[in-house]
Amino acid sequence: MPIFPRTLNPLTTGVSAFLFGPRMTGKTTLLRGIPADAWFDLLDPALELQYRANPGLFWEQLSAIREEAVIVVDEVQRAPELLNVVQMGIDRRRQVFLLSGSSARKLRRGGANLLGGRALDLRLHPLCADELGKDFRMDRALSFGTLPQIATLVTEKREDVARQLLASYVTTYLREEIQAEALTRNVGAFARFLQIAAQHHGQVIEFASISRDCAVPASTVKEYFQILEDTLIGFLLWPFDRSERKKSRPRFYLFDCGVIRALQQRLEDPPTPAETGFLFENWVVNELRRIRDYERKPHEFAFWRERDRVVDLLVTKGNRVIHAFKCKSGRTDLRPGVAGRFREIFPGVPLAVISMSDARPRMADGVEILPVKEALQRYRAL
C-alpha cells in the first residue's frame, strides 16, 4: 500500500493548532505519525461521555502529563467543553495541543472557547500533486479525486472499490456531519440540494434558481451553502468587484473531483470533454488553495467577469491583484478581447493560461500559456 507523505506537519509550528478538514482527508493518519506524549480519541463514545459529564477529569489527566508535552485531541468538536481545559494546559503547563476535527461550525455555533489566538487554524486537504509524486496522473485526479484512501485504491488498480467508497462518502457525510450534528432539520431537502449543487460546480450561482430546483426558500439555500463551507466540503469564490449587486453571484467549488462525480452519479463513465473542463478548473482552484494553506501565503482568491469575458482566478494580496490565471483543458486560446479588457482594468497584472494539454511554456497573442507544473511553480513564487 503506498504511503503518501503529507506536506503539512502541525508539529513544526511549535505551537498549539486546530487541524480541520473534511472526512477522509487523513487527519487522524497524519496525527498518528506525530510523536505525541498523549492521545485522546473522542470518537470513543465512552470517553466522550465521560468528559462531557466531568470535564475536570481531563484537567487531572493533563496535570499528570509533563509540562511542554505534545497532546493530541482527536474530534474535539464532540466535547467542546474540553477547550477551556486545553487553554489551562497551554497557559499553566506550556503544553502543545493538536486538536483535530472535520468542522469548526459546531464549536463556533456553540460558543466554544477557540483559545483566543493561542492556536493556529490549519487545514488538511485531499492529496496535492506533490504529495502524490510519481503516482500523480491528471486523468485519475479528475475522475476519482485525491482523497488518500481513494488515491491508494486507484494506484493499486482497484477502481471498483474506489467507486464504491466514493459512492458511500455522501451518505457518510449526511449521516455523520449533517444529521448527527443537527446542522439542518430537513436532511432530505439537503440531500437534493447537494446533488443540484454538484451540477453547478465551477459556475456562477443563482440562488433563486437553485431554490426553485430544491423547493426550499432562497434563504435556506444560502444556509445550505454555508453548511458546505463550514464543514469544508465546498466554498464560494466571489468576484473581484466592489458592487454588492455583482457580489451576490459567486462561483461554487466542491473540495474534491471524486466527490463531485459521486454526487453526480458519474463514477462509472469517464468524464466527457465538457465535464473535463469544469473538473480541471475545479482541480486547479483547489490545488492553489492547498499550496496557499500549506505554505501560509497571505493571499485571497477571486474571479473576474465582464459579460462573457471571464478570468477564472485572481490572486490578491491586501486588496491588490498580483496575478491572474485562466484554466484551459483543451484549446488554449482566449475569447476575443479577454486579455485586452483585462489589462485595461488591471494594468500591469500578469495573466497566464494554465493548460492541461501543453507540455512546454509558450506565448500566444501576448498571453503566457503554462503547463500545469510550471503554473503551480509560478504561484509558489508569488
**Does residue 310 share a domain with residue 273?**
no
Tell me the per-residue pLDDT of 175-184, one tens digit each, with 9 for 90 and over.
Answer: 777 766 656 7
- Cα(380)–Cα(375) distance, integer angstroms: 9
Averaged pLDDT for residues 198-202: 91
**Does residue 87 share a domain with residue 45?**
yes
Instruction: Let me know the angle formed at the C-alpha of 199 by 197 and 202, rounded to the nearest 5 degrees.
Output: 85
CATH of the domain at 373: 3.40.1350
Q: Which domain holds residue 323?
A: 297-380
CATH of the domain at 82: 3.40.50.300
Averaged pLDDT for residues 158-182: 83
CATH of the domain at 258: 1.10.10
**Does residue 154 share a domain with residue 187?**
yes
Question: Where a domain ends, among 228, 243, 277?
Answer: 277
Question: Does residue 263 belong to any structural domain of this protein?
Answer: yes
Question: Does residue 358 belong to any structural domain of this protein?
Answer: yes
**Does residue 145 share a domain with residue 113?**
no
User: What's the structural domain count of the chain?
Assistant: 3
Question: Does residue 290 belong to any structural domain of this protein?
Answer: no
- CB count in 10 Å sphere of residue 331: 8
DSSP E strands, the chain: 16-20, 38-41, 70-74, 96-101, 119-123, 234-237, 251-254, 300-306, 309-317, 320-328, 351-355, 362-364, 367-371
pLDDT in the model for residue 352: 96
**Does residue 205 share a domain with residue 77?**
no
C-beta of residue 281 within 8 angstroms of C-beta of residue 203: no
Q: Sign of dihedral through CA atoms 124, 128, 130, 132?
A: positive
Question: Does residue 160 belong to any structural domain of this protein?
Answer: yes
For the chain, the first-to-last Cα distance in angstroms comes to: 35
Question: Where a domain ends, among 100, 123, 146?
Answer: 123
**Does residue 140 share a domain with residue 247?**
yes
Tell me how far CA of residue 35 lies from CA of 69, 89, 244, 297, in angstroms: 10, 18, 49, 27
Averaged pLDDT for residues 135-148: 97
Question: Does residue 218 belong to any structural domain of this protein?
Answer: yes
Question: Does residue 134 belong to any structural domain of this protein?
Answer: yes
pTM: 0.93
Q: How confident is the model at residue 110 (pLDDT cuts 50, 70, 90)?
A: low
Question: Does residue 1 belong to any structural domain of this protein?
Answer: no
Q: Which residue has the cell 467543553?
A: 81
Q: Is pLDDT of 162 > 80?
A: yes
Percent of the chain with pLDDT over 90: 71
pLDDT in the model for residue 245: 57
C-beta of residue 238 within 8 angstroms of C-beta of residue 247: yes
C-beta of residue 19 within 8 angstroms of C-beta of residue 100: yes
pLDDT in the model for residue 144: 98
Percent of the chain with pLDDT over 70: 92
C-beta of residue 102 within 8 angstroms of C-beta of residue 20: yes
Least confident of 71-80, 155-164, 175-184: 175-184
Q: State the amino acid at position 262 in one-letter form.
A: A
pLDDT in the model for residue 106: 62
pLDDT in the model for residue 189: 85
Question: Does residue 288 belong to any structural domain of this protein?
Answer: no
Q: Is pLDDT of 337 > 80?
A: yes
**Does residue 264 share a domain with residue 136?**
yes
**Does residue 159 share a domain with residue 247?**
yes
